[in-house]
Amino acid sequence: KAGVTQTPRYLIKTRGQQVTLSCSPISGHRSVSWYQQTPGQGLQFLFEYFSETQRNKGNFPGRFSGRQFSNSRSEMNVSTLELGDSALYLCASSVAGIGYTFGSGTRLTVV
Amino acid sequence: SQQGEEDPQALSIQEGENATMNCSYKTSINNLQWYRQNSGRGLVHLILIRSNEREKHSGRLRVTLDTSKKSSSLLITASRAADTASYFCATSIQGAQKLVFGQGTRLTINP
């Protein structure tokens, strides 16, 4: 079966712009989580959605937001981009929060 | 902040040798998972051990969990060049719907 698909793979944006990243989970998986990975902070949890509801949110500013659609696909949005937002953004899907499958990630560079 | 700490941060061994990585965490957990990441790509789930388990095997992988010491170890036996990657432990806390990652161990297998 198809894995977790994240688009785009690479993205370059300018400070102050906004960006939307997309994640399509494995068919049948209703939980989608997002993580940010940077060299300095490592892997940090952003938020988790289940059946279109955000169940948990990490310690990130309000510029980071997300949503989940009825088909379980999820998007995350970052507004007013800062240089420090440059990172690998990873999406993970799971059936019920146990055993996560990660996508290949979107590498965002803010210049 | 990261809950887990991994030790060592980097490990370089010869092909065929065994590699051991350690992970410590701070709070009570539901389960602990190990992931592999190649060159900044997505995370690949290796093995999950529940809080009531002490040891688990999967192929050349052996994971132990000591909840009294809040620590886990991952042993890779008979290492291969293809095992070169970063390895992360991640803890799952009951009801939190998120993973908390350690900072990772960078493993290099020399031919």
Q: What pLDDT, on the 0 to 100 scale, is given for residue A1? A: 62
* A33·B100 Cβ contact <8 A: no
User: Is A15 a residue whose pLDDT tops 70?
Assistant: yes
* A33·B98 Cβ contact <8 A: yes
User: Is A103 a residue whose pLDDT tops 90?
Assistant: yes
Cα angle for residues B51, B6, A85 (degrees, 5° grid)? 105
Q: Give the burial class of B106: count Cβ atoms within 10 A of its Cβ; 0-12 exposed, 13-18 middle, 19 or more buried.
A: middle
Compute φ and ψ for A83, nearest 5 degrees: -55, -35
Which chain B residue has its CA at the smallest distance from A91's CA?
Answer: B42
Q: Which of A14, A32, A31, A27 is nearest to A80 (CA)?
A: A14
* A102·B103 Cβ contact <8 A: no
Q: What pLDDT, on the 0 to 100 scale, is given for residue B3? A: 60
User: B19 CA to chain A: closest CA distance, Å?
Assistant: 22
Mean pLDDT across chain A, nearest whole number? Answer: 94
Q: What pLDDT, on the 0 to 100 scale, is given for residue A96? A: 72
**How far, in whole angstroms, is CA A38 from its chain's centroid?**
14
User: B48 CA to chain A: closest CA distance, Å?
Assistant: 7
Helices (H), B1-111: none
Share of chain A above pLDDT 90, in %: 93
Q: Is the model more confident about B28 or about A1?
A: B28
- In single-letter form, the type of residue at position B49 comes to I
For chain B, residues with pLDDT lower than 50 are: 1-2
d(C-alpha B15, C-alpha B79), whole Å? 5
Q: What pLDDT, on the 0 to 100 scale, is given for residue B1? A: 45
Share of chain A above pLDDT 70, in %: 98
Pair A49, A32: CB distance under 8 Å: yes
* B99·A48 Cβ contact <8 A: no
Which chain A residue has its CA at the smallest distance from B48's CA?
Answer: A99
Cα–Cα separations (whole angstroms), residue A32 to A24, A56, A74, A95, B33: 9, 11, 7, 9, 17
d(C-alpha B16, C-alpha B53), whole Å? 28
* Best to test chain A binding among B98, B99, B100 (most A CBs inside 10 Å): B98
